Amino acid sequence: MRDERTIELIDTQAGGDVSRIVTAGIEPLPGSTALEKARYLQREGDGLRRLLLSEPYGDPAMSVDLIVEPGHPEAQAGYIIMEAMGYPMYSGSNTLCAATALLESGMIEMTEGLQEVVLESPAGLARITARNRDGRVESITTQGEPAYVAERGLSVEVPSYGRVRFDLVWSGAYYAMITAADHGFELTADEQIALTAFGDAFVRTARPGLRQEHPTLGDVGPLPFVHFMGRVRTLENGTVESRSATYVHPGVICRSPTGTGTSARLALLAGTGDLATGDTLETISPRGNRFVGTVGEEATVGDFPAWQSTITGRARLMARSRITVDLDDPLVDSSDLEKLLSP
């Protein structure tokens, strides 16, 4: 008899970035919070991430969000984010996708008009406002954890690229914030291969010695993201916008401008006084996809000044599927999958 298991998925996209929402087929994970469950999965069950983000079942450019029972009494559901780089504590685009999938699938009952939803990410609560019409989610505005500037004015000598200056910002993960024009980038679609090569070389060089500690979350792992910042422009109608590109190590340039990348940019600009509470910035990815970030109230994280922010965008459902996992298949790393997948 073949040892087969099934996993139920809802595939979604926000700004072109695909998130696979795992809704069924996984045994309950140990832990009382989304953070504890995520750390168990990272330690004992990483085969699930590798399975769904690798050929033949997936692609490293995707993300995976596993829906879990929340630990916080305010939350209606919890979710664990998995990407090529590992397990980010929070992600704006993944939050857009997870909330949309939960509402449009009926896992959270949808109400017409504006609806407040609270989800529990490994970083904490994501407070969400969904705009619903005729059974569809037209937009999601999400507020995650505060972002803060951890270090300014850093630099590293990158082989073949020279000295690269950057700031280190936390917004659900650590981001290296690099001014694109300093390295000849306009952040257009035809630069994606070059941006990927630059990002890869930079991360491999910059990681040693960079901080991995978060004041409340502890060790959050080595640097996973680079955010390339374009020029800030104010249009005649008052809209403030900037091209941007987020590199995910290893080897991925996001199709969206990314929610956490946008939040990191807001914290950087708020810290220099270039944006204030209530100001917005529309970020534009190399493929032309857009998110709107809004600076929120000031806060603190440990000893760091920080800023709340919200990200607004739209996610769309692409597929509902049930995949079969053959644990006897040599292309399936079944070493830690058997205990995770429901019989």
Active site residue 91: yes
Q: Which of 131, 83, 141, 95 is nearest to 111 (CA)?
A: 131
Q: Which of 67, 75, 89 is nearest to 118 (CA)?
A: 75
Question: In 59-173, at which residue ranges do the beta strands (DSSP E only) sit?
Answer: 63-68, 77-82, 113-121, 124-133, 136-143, 147-158, 162-170
Q: CA-to-CA distance for 274 and 319, rounded, in angstroms?
A: 41
- On whether the CB atoms of residues 293 and 313 are closer than 8 A, the answer is no
Catalytic residue among 19, 63, 91, 256: 91
Alpha-carbon torsion 323, 324, 328, 330, what sign? Answer: negative
- On whether the CB atoms of residues 90 and 123 are closer than 8 A, the answer is yes
Query: Is the peptide bond preceding residue 159 cis, with omega within 30 degrees of 0?
Result: no
The catalytic site residues sit at 91
